[in-house]
Amino acid sequence: MYLDKLTQKEYNTYQTNEMEGGRYMARNKYPEITVERILEVSQRLFMEKGYDNTTIQDIVNELGGLTKGAIYHHFKSKEEIIDALGEKLFFDNNPFITVQNQKNLNGLEKMREVIKLNHADNDRAELGKQSIPLLKNPRLLAELADTNRKLIAPLWLQLIQEGIEDGSIQTEYAKELSELLPLLTNFWLIPSVYPATPEELLSKFAFIKYLLDSMNLPIIDDEIFGMAQNCFYSVLVTYFKS
């Protein structure tokens, strides 16, 4: 998992850079050129052939002289590669950093923009869809929960607090909501964890909207709801093909 590669000092530096609008690139977490090459080649092959149709040997063949041993030195499995790649893509195109530089937006608008930017990141969205079946693996699911707790929830909390300060958000449950958001969107809406049809996923999303609206955090507008509707059908098509 990406965060496990950080020393406490590096993690604190990352947090500081995030909060100050800096950009702590993935290469700082994986300084080895070999790892960068593995992730670059893996991303291309996963996009071209699909995760299931790509083997470790396929990756080796594209790395020009590296052996399987070199890959396994850094990654224990293909699952670990796609897990690291997903986090690398997040750090390379962190929507929370992008919105912090948009001074014309208030806290609530920044939260909505994070969702829209995340949806617009086609590479990460495609990789995310291919990763859904892998989340049946308890280890990967636990790592996702750890990432949500250590990284995503604090970033949501920062935006909620900003919204409270500028008056665009009025809630007494900033910390609780910041922790609830990734749980609902990153777990409850994953069909490999909670099986559902597109209609059931949309109903769940409507419930999330109702719940957040009731807690005075109306981040799901009509545009985001429409994006979710299209996304759920696409996600399930990919999932059932796997």
What are the tens digits of pLDDT across the range 35-45? 888 988 888 88
175 pLDDT band, cuts 50/70/90, is very high
105 pLDDT band, cuts 50/70/90, is very high
Q: What's the CA gap between 205 and 34, in Å, rounded?
A: 41
Average pLDDT over residues 24-31: 38
Q: What's the pLDDT tens digit per position in 110-131?
A: 999 999 998 887 776 666 666 6
Interior angle at CA 102, CA 96 and CA 104, nearest 5 = 135
Q: What's the CA gap between 85 and 211, in Å, rounded?
A: 32
Q: What's the CA gap between 124 and 146, in Å, rounded?
A: 19
83: how many CB neighbours lie within 10 A of its CB?
Answer: 23
Residue 202 pLDDT > 70, yes or no?
A: yes
